[in-house]
């Protein structure tokens, strides 16, 4: 670790100051030289004077790692972090390796908090289990320096990780913990963060089976968003609202949510919003209305948008899942199998049970398609995967179809044996 004198000398040289220039009128050049060579210790008055002339706080000079020394590292890390994609363990490990030498004795500063936040995220993506400690450190720093929005973002990251690990009950407990701290300490989150907290509260209520509570909170949040003319996350709330209405077989409410999504679509002009409306409609027509031709039309609209710049986000698995299901239900089995062969996994960023189960329902239809062609072993493997991966998720109508297909194909195999 650099000594106090070394830190002063480094900052002076970074700012291209001579000893004489930094010493000014209150210190001699000789005394400053002794301080820089650790042959003399400055008084607090002298330290404040040196810090002022260097444009830093005296506390930074006393810290083993200074905020200013972290800035070049943070700039480098931010560039890498912006470019790396979810699921890229190797490049996230590179970020971990880059930050790791600097994580000891960090100051109370934005730079330190942000580095620790990225460090935690990169550790998780690299497959490491040590992400919680740096995230807690980041949370503590942001709280101490009163950066409440960044403090709240540490909770958002934690619950996102817990959701990806399907620890929905714990994720719900964490968002309630954040809410309790905010109320106890009279924090004033900005309107976007307050809306985000309510949104996460509702989706985790749904994830753990508190359907009525989650549905009610979504409706209240939508109403409040309109009253306050704040439309952050409104497309996601409409989407979840539509899901809830479908599950309740309240198709009038489902159509209302679709109408609201269409209005937001015209206002926002975001390709990503358009695309997921088409996926949701395809699912609606396939699984609830049983208008499979219309489902094909909707999913082909999604596919057209995949040629846009958002192609990385618009995972092709959505397309092939619903297309294969439509074609199978229309009795166009050869075409269905060709589509299902391209449906290989659930996109990495999908973590909510509603989405997971609806996609596993598509895997069940994929299994039925293979069974139709007599490929029972392949069909069984697919059906079993969908069934076992759905067992611990909230009870929704999709689970009944998934279970029915699994036991049906299992019975077929047993009868052949």
Residue ending a domain, among 62, 84, 106, is 62
Residue 235 CA to residue 269 CA, distance in Å, equals: 12
Q: Nearest-CA neighbor of 121 among 144, 95, 103, 152?
A: 95
Residue whose structure tokens are 């890498």: 80
Residue 414 maps to a domain: yes
* Cβ atoms 36, 5 nearer than 8 A: yes
Cα of 289 vs its chain's centroid, Å: 32
Structure tokens at 263: 């209005």
Residue ending a domain, among 62, 93, 112, is 62
The neighbour count for residue 85, using CB atoms within 10 Å, is: 10
Residue 390 maps to a domain: yes
pLDDT for 64: 58
CA distances from 195 to 192, 269, 273 (A): 5, 22, 19
Residue 334 maps to a domain: no
Residue 48 maps to a domain: yes
Give the number of residues written for the chain: 417
The neighbour count for residue 142, using CB atoms within 10 Å, is: 24
CA distances from 3 to 216, 262, 341, 381 (A): 58, 61, 62, 62
Residue 281, phi-psi category: left (phi > 0), alpha (psi -120 to 50), beta (remainder): alpha
Q: Which pTM does this prediction carry?
A: 0.82
Q: Show pLDDT as tens, one digit a residue, over the chain (417 residues).
A: 467 888 889 888 988 899 999 988 888 989 999 999 988 888 878 888 998 888 887 777 766 566 777 889 999 999 999 999 989 999 999 999 999 998 887 888 899 999 999 999 999 999 999 999 999 999 999 998 889 999 999 999 999 999 999 999 999 999 999 999 999 988 888 888 888 899 999 999 999 999 999 999 999 988 888 887 777 788 889 999 999 999 999 999 999 999 988 888 777 767 777 888 899 999 999 999 999 999 999 999 999 887 765 556 688 999 999 999 999 999 999 999 999 999 999 998 899 999 999 999 999 999 999 999 999 999 999 999 999 999 999 999 999 999 999 999 999 988 876
Residue 40 maps to a domain: yes
Residue whose structure tokens are 């930050």: 99
Number of folded domains that form the chain = 2
Q: Which of the 8 DSSP states describes residue 290?
A: -
**Which long-range CB contacts under 8 A does 94-101 form with residues at least 24 apart?**
95/119, 95/122, 96/122, 96/123, 96/126, 96/128, 98/73, 99/73
CA distances from 12 to 33, 54, 56, 213 (A): 12, 7, 11, 60
Residue 56 maps to a domain: yes
Residue whose structure tokens are 């919003």: 273
Give the CATH number of the domain where residue 55 resides.
1.10.260.40
- The whole domain housing 366 covers 345-417
* Cβ atoms 324, 365 nearer than 8 A: yes
Residue 362 maps to a domain: yes
Structure tokens at 67: 């905020």
Structure tokens at 235: 């497309």
Residue ending a domain, among 45, 62, 79, is 62
* Cβ atoms 29, 20 nearer than 8 A: yes
pLDDT for 312: 61
Residue 43 maps to a domain: yes
Q: Which residues, in sequence order, are CB contacts of 86 under 8 Å at separation 6+? A: 125, 348, 349
């Amino acid at each position: 670790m650099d000594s106090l004198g070394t830190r002063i000398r480094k900052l002076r040289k970074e700012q291209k100051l001579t000893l004489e220039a930094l010493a000014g009128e209150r210190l001699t050049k000789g005394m400053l030289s002794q301080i820089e060579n650790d042959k003399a210790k400055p008084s607090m008055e002298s330290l404040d004077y040196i810090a002022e002339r260097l444009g830093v706080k005296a506390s930074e000079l006393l810290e083993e790692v200074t905020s200013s020394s972290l800035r070049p590292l943070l700039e480098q890390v931010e560039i890498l972090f912006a470019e790396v994609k979810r699921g890229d363990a190797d490049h996230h490990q590179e970020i971990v390796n880059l930050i790791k030498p600097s994580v000891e004795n960090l100051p109370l500063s934005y730079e330190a908090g942000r580095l620790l936040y990225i460090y935690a995220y990169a550790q998780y993506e690299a497959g490491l289990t040590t992400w919680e400690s740096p995230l807690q450190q980041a949370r503590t720093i942001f709280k101490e320096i009163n950066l409440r929005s960044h403090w709240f973002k540490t909770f958002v990251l934690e619950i996102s990780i817990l959701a990806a690990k399907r620890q929905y009950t714990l994720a719900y407990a964490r968002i309630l913990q954040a809410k309790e701290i905010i109320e106890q300490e009279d924090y004033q989150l900005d309107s976007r963060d307050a809306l985000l907290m309510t949104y996460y509260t509702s989706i985790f209520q749904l994830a753990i089976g508190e359907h009525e509570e989650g549905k009610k909170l979504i409706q209240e949040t939508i109403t409040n968003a309109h009253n306050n003319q704040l439309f952050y996350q409104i497309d996601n709330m409409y989407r979840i609202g539509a899901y809830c209405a479908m599950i309740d077989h309240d198709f009038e409410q489902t159509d209302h949510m679709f109408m609201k999504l269409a209005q937001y679509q015209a206002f926002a002009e975001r390709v990503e919003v358009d695309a997921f409306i088409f996926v949701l409609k395809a699912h609606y027509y396939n699984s609830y209305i049983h208008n499979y031709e219309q489902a094909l039309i909707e999913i082909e609209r999604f596919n057209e948008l995949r040629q846009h710049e958002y192609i990385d986000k618009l995972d092709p698995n959505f397309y092939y899942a619903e297309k294969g299901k439509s074609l199978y239900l229309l009795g166009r089995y050869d075409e269905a199998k060709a589509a299902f062969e391209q449906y290989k996994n659930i996109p990495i960023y999908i973590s909510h049970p509603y989405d997971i189960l609806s996609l596993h329902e598509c895997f069940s239809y994929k299994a039925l398609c293979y069974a139709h062609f007599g490929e029972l072993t392949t069909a069984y493997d697919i059906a079993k995967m969908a069934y076992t991966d759905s067992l611990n998720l909230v009870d929704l109508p999709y689970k009944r179809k998934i279970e029915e297909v699994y036991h049906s194909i299992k019975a077929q195999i047993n009868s052949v044996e």
